[in-house]
């Protein structure tokens, strides 16, 4: 299939582009390279352009004629979304709306959306299932929820249009071949920052909040290896190709690790007792987010291969040492 991938030069998008290419799909990556990197696009063609550029987008869709679109392009930093909400509503919501409008013009009817567990906010029950109420507590989560609502309304208005929304939990790790990995200029991901602290790039790692209602007082998150997440996207593509209806799936392992547990794993993998400092809570951080993943296992026949925190940290460490 011809697959257009927005944001395919970014961390998660590049891993999906790699897997698409390895499975024989024809891929076109559409990315403005704000946070992505051209060297990360290992298969297909890269078009450097912005989703707000409607005419360029129309030209690309008209010429490439994709059978499906995977939409990763987004701003993703929670604290930044609180400081600059308009950036998030513009990039994550308005640009998604712009993309969908162009896809309707050219009758592109299969769409896979990169969403987030942040749409749940502070979940009432853990693990959180896809049926849980959506109560995002920051503009990042709200901007993604609004895009999901647009998709739901669109599929009700046009039954031929079908989408899969994948709600990511905490994505980490790197490609086992060490060719691509997380390369954000200012990464806020815990595992990456811990490893960069071990390398000496940061003076210390800060733990934001130690008084949460969790076993050790620090936030608990469900960490998923990026290769397992990439596999979920290809399974979602096959699901739509085989006539599956619009659906939402959590992407996580169904268990969580605290910040202190991640720090311990990073110290064990690196062999470096890097300094850690406790700090006040960060605005917009829920105490715990763990995925209920029965639906994706059942409906997409998704079976994780890399459900091991130390393996996740090890692949990320190998990538960081290469960089």
Q: What is the pLDDT of residue 192?
A: 95
Q: At what angle do helices 95-105 and 54-64 cross, to 10 degrees?
A: 40
- pLDDT one digit per residue (tens) for the chain, 323 residues: 999 999 999 999 999 999 999 999 999 999 999 999 999 999 999 999 999 999 999 999 999 999 999 999 999 998 899 999 999 999 999 999 999 999 999 999 999 999 999 999 998 899 999 999 999 999 999 999 999 999 999 999 999 999 999 999 999 999 988 899 999 877 789 999 999 999 999 999 999 999 999 999 999 999 999 999 999 999 999 999 999 999 999 999 999 999 999 999 999 999 999 999 999 998 778 899 999 999 999 999 999 999 999 999 999 999 999 87
Tokens linked to 38 = 């051209």
Q: What is the pLDDT of residue 282?
A: 85
Q: What is the pLDDT of residue 283?
A: 79
- The pTM of this model reads 0.96
Nearest to 221 by CA among 192, 261, 183, 249: 261
State how far the Cα of 145 lies from the Cα of 11, in Å rounded to an integer: 21
Decide if 223 is catalytic. no
State how far the Cα of 174 lies from the Cα of 192, in Å rounded to an integer: 11
Strands (E), 128-221: 162-168, 170-172, 205-208, 220-221
State how far the Cα of 139 lies from the Cα of 43, in Å rounded to an integer: 33
Spatial contact of 98 and 82, defined as CB atoms under 8 Å apart: no
Please give the helix or strand (H or E) that residue 241 lies within, else none: helix 226-241
Residues in the chain: 323
Q: What is the pLDDT of residue 176?
A: 82
State how far the Cα of 257 lies from the Cα of 123, in Å rounded to an integer: 16
Q: What is the pLDDT of residue 178?
A: 84
H runs (alpha helix) in 1-131: 11-22, 54-64, 78-83, 85-88, 95-105
Q: Is 232 exposed, middle or buried (0-12, 13-18, 19+ CB in 10 A)?
A: buried
Q: Which among 43, 140, 212, 253 is annotated as catalytic?
A: 140
Domain 2-172+223-251 fold is Rossmann fold (3.40.50)
Please give the helix or strand (H or E) that residue 114 lies within, else none: strand 110-116
Q: Helix, strand, coil shares of the chain as percentages rounded to 5?
A: 40, 20, 40
Superfamily for 190-221+254-322?
A: UDP-galactose 4-epimerase, domain 1 (3.90.25.10)
Q: Where are the domains of the chain?
A: 2-172+223-251, 190-221+254-322
Count of alpha carbons within 13 Å of 291, Cβ hemisphere only? 24
């Amino acid at each position: 299939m011809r697959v257009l991938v927005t944001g395919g030069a970014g961390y998660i998008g590049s891993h999906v582009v790699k897997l698409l290419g390895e499975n024989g799909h024809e891929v076109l990556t559409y990315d403005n390279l704000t946070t992505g990197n051209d060297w990360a696009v290992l298969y297909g063609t890269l078009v450097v352009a912005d989703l707000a550029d409607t005419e360029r987008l129309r030209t690309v869709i008209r010429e490439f004629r994709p059978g499906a679109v995977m939409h990763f392009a987004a701003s993703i930093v929670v604290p930044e979304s609180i400081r600059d909400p308009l950036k998030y509503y513009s990039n994550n919501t308005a640009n998604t709306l712009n993309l969908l409008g162009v896809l309707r013009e050219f009758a592109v009817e299969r769409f896979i959306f990169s969403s987030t567990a942040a749409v749940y906010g502070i979940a009432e029950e853990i693990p959180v299932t896809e049926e849980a109420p959506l109560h995002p507590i920051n503009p990042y989560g709200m901007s993604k929820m609004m895009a999901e609502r647009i998709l739901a309304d669109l599929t009700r208005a046009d039954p031929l249009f079908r989408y899969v929304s994948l709600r990511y939990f905490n994505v980490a790790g790197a490609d086992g071949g060490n060719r691509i990995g997380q390369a954000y200029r200012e990464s806020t991901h815990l595992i990456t920052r811990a490893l960069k602290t071990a390398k000496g790039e940061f003076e210390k790692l800060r733990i934001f909040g130690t008084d949460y209602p969790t076993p050790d007082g620090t936030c608990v998150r469900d960490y998923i290896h990026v290769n397992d997440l990439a596999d979920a996207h290809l399974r979602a593509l096959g699901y739509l190709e085989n006539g599956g209806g619009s659906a939402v799936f959590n992407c996580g392992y169904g268990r969580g690790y605290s910040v202190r547990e991640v720090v311990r794993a990073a110290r064990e993998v690196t062999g470096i007792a890097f300094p850690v400092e406790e700090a006040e809570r960060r605005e917009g951080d829920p105490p715990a987010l763990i995925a209920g993943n029965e639906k994706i296992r059942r409906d997409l026949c998704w079976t994780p291969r890399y459900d091991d925190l130390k393996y996740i940290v090890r692949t990320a460490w190998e990538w960081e040492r290469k960089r």
